[in-house]
Amino acid sequence: MTAEAERPDDVPESEGGTPTRRANFVVVANRLPVDRVEHPDGTTTWRTSPGGLVTALEPVMHSHHGAWVGWHGAPDEVLDPFENDGLELVPVPLSAGEVEDYYEGFSNATLWPLYHDVVAPPEFRREWWDAYVRVNQRFADRTAAVADEGAVVWVQDYQLQLVPQMLREQRPDLHIGFFLHIPFPPTELYIQLPWRDQILRGLLGADLVGFQLGGGAQNFQRLVRQRLHLDTRREFVHAADGRTVMARAYPISIAAESLHELASSDKTAARAAEIRDDLGNPKVLLLGVDRLDYTKGLPERIQAFGELVAEGRIDPEEAALVQVATPSRERVEQYRHLRDDIDRQVGRINSEVGRIGRPPITYLHASYPRDEMAALYRAADVMIVTPLRDGMNLVAKEYVACRQGDDGALVLSEFAGAARELRQAYLINPHDIDGLKETILEAINAPARVKARRMRLLRRQVFEHDIDSWARAFLDDLDRVVGDQLDWPARALGGAPTREQG
Ligand code: GDG
């Protein structure tokens, strides 16, 4: 059943029905893990979008009665809960005005740049904040309506930081976890936010607040002491209502085995060879894969490569750079500017140093299926990952998982969370263009045995710390912090929990 919202800028009149059975494991995220597929005959179906989170949580979702609460991606549309691929999906409606103010505005033009060390200036607008509060309340209300007595609720990411507290006010019986996928900023930056205390209180509604790195957890602890005058001890915060809240790091990872399997198939091998062939069989294929985002350091990477070619230190007859930049947040102004800047930068380099049929940079502003990504990773000799700030960066781990032997080299920014674990990568500071250039050359020219030793250690790290161990560690700690017999989510994932500190 669908119905138009009455007024685009306001709360839809109805928020959709309630599922027949209440869930005892609920994931709450800005987006549902599905995309709508429209067929030629006019009918529509849903396809599960292959994300690490869905894959990791599927065993828990299926072995217990799981539900996923999130926006379905279309504004001004109210949908009833539905099932897809065995997942119970609970759509949260957003009006077009709310998509602008809550999602593009407060989430992506205020919080995103602020939490990424202000690499772009955050905008603080009161009407965006109002929409953020309203939409967070709606997510909390929907979740409260679908969660069974004593259920475990896992809230995801920066768009929903008020949900834990809003949910606890209505449903003190729930066990609430929250995980932040992006960095949690240093106190000096965080306190720029006019609504800094409200967000801290929002997060403290959870029993467990998870961060990518230990530094994020420490920033959070410092802030609750300074701003809210709460006591903290080791990784625990004593909340104002007498509860103990745990704050610690859980570095996220990937489904390493299944990605490796995909990359190892004959089909992927053939496609990887074809990609190299289409590029004129360069001796060295360098690769970048990012959402087109100003935190990812694309201009720095392209600048470094362009200079190496212009200076004759990289021969474009022998080396090629493929850069995939997946379209992202195209209605946010800063992202439109970035796209134009990179188009110009790539055009300039290719026109100055390229020759007919062999541009040094192949720039692809598009999104590809998973098997094509695996073929690209498999084909690449050097992966270049240069974010100015990044919570983790899964691309770096995916490249490592796709290696077949011990060949290949990973150039990785120190400012990606992944750098804490992937110590044997060629680590760089993306602001230091000369240093970046030298390291790219080092990664290209290192002896095979040096590359092999580094890659072996990287592979071990990625395969031993995959997405399953991440989810297990989080859910196991959530069980322990609520101090009751609720150890089932971790058990459903199997095996002993691993504990990691970033
Ligand atoms: C946030 C945090 C944190 C990219 N293009 C295509 C495609 N991708 C996939 C990659 C990778 C994912 O998207 C991107 O993940 P990242 O981790 O690199 O970056 P963010 O999108 O910024 O993610 C980040 C992450 O959350 C998880 O916590 O690591 O720090 O910013 O999986 O492969 N996938 C397909 N086609 C594409 O064109 N199929």
Alpha-helical segments (H) within 354-487:
370-379, 394-402, 433-445, 448-464, 467-482
In a domain, 497, yes or no: no
Residues 402 and 444 in one domain: yes
pLDDT value at residue 20: 66
Question: Do residues 240 and 383 both lie within one domain?
Answer: no
pLDDT tops 70 at residue 2? no
Answer yes or no: is 284 within a domain: yes
Residue 500 has pLDDT above 50, yes or no: no
238 Cα–ligand 1 center, Å: 34
Q: Does 169 map to a domain?
A: yes
- The range of the structural domain enclosing residue 32 comes to 3-249
> 302 and 209, same structural domain?
no
With respect to residue 282, please indicate whether it lies within any of the assigned structural domains.
yes
* Local structure of 14: helix, strand or coil: coil
Please write the tens of the pLDDT for every residue from 104-147: 999 999 999 999 999 999 999 999 999 999 999 999 999 999 99
Q: Which of 200, 225, 249 is the last residue of a domain?
A: 249
Q: In the block, which residue shows the tokens 């602008």?
A: 100
Q: How far apart are CA 342 and CA 298, in angstroms?
A: 8
Task: Give the pLDDT confidence score for residue 498 in this predicted structure.
Answer: 34
Task: For the chain, give the mean pLDDT.
Answer: 91
Res 10 pLDDT > 70: no
Q: Is 402 in the pocket of ligand 1 (CB under 6 A)?
A: no
CB 92 within 8 A of CB 138: yes
- Burial of 271 (C-beta count, 10 Å sphere; 0-12/13-18/19+): middle
Whether 441 is covered by a domain: the verdict is: yes
Looking at the structure, tell me whether residues 412 and 390 fall in a common domain: yes
Same domain, 433 and 460: yes
Co-location of 188 and 299 in the same domain: no
Tell me which of 376, 388, 392 to substitute to probe ligand 1's pocket, judged by most ligand atoms within 8 Å of the beta carbon.
Answer: 392
Going by pLDDT thresholds of 50, 70 and 90, the confidence category of residue 52 is low
482 found inside a domain: no
Is the minimum distance from the CB of 421 to ligand 1 under 6 angstroms?
A: no
Q: Which atom of ligand 1 is nearest to the CA of 418?
A: 29
Q: Is the CB of 236 under 6 A from ligand 1?
A: no
Higher pLDDT, 482 or 11: 482
Verify that 326 and 451 share a domain, yes or no.
Answer: yes
Do 241 and 268 fall into the same domain?
no
CA distance 47 to 259: 19
The pLDDT tens digits of the residues spanning 438-478 come to 999 999 999 999 999 999 999 999 999 999 999 999 999 99
Residue that terminates a domain, selected from 249, 264, 291: 249
487 within a domain of the structure (yes/no): no
Looking at residue 16, its pLDDT comes to 75
Residue 500 forms part of a structural domain? no
Q: Are residues 168 and 265 in the same domain?
A: no
Q: Would you say the CB of residue 383 lies under 6 angstroms from ligand 1?
A: no
Question: What are the tens digits of pLDDT across the range 156-180?
Answer: 999 999 999 999 999 999 999 999 9
Same domain, 321 and 442: yes
Q: Is 411 helix (H, G, I), strand (E, B) or coil?
A: strand
Looking at the CA of residue 398, tell me the nearest atom of ligand 1.
Answer: 33
Question: What is the Cβ-side half-sphere exposure of residue 144, based on CA atoms within 13 angstroms?
Answer: 18
| Tally of domains in the chain | 2
Is the CB of residue 252 below 6 angstroms from any atom belonging to ligand 1?
yes
User: Which of 183, 218, 249 marks a domain boundary?
Assistant: 249
Residues 110 and 219 in one domain: yes
Supply the CATH number for residue 143's domain: 3.40.50.2000
> pLDDT tens across 240-276, in order?
998 999 999 999 999 999 999 999 999 999 999 999 9
User: Is residue 371 lining ligand 1, measured as CB closer than 6 Å?
Assistant: no
277 and 227, same domain (yes or no)? no
- Answer whether 358 contacts ligand 1 (Cβ < 6 A): no
The structure tokens listed for 337 are: 């500017």
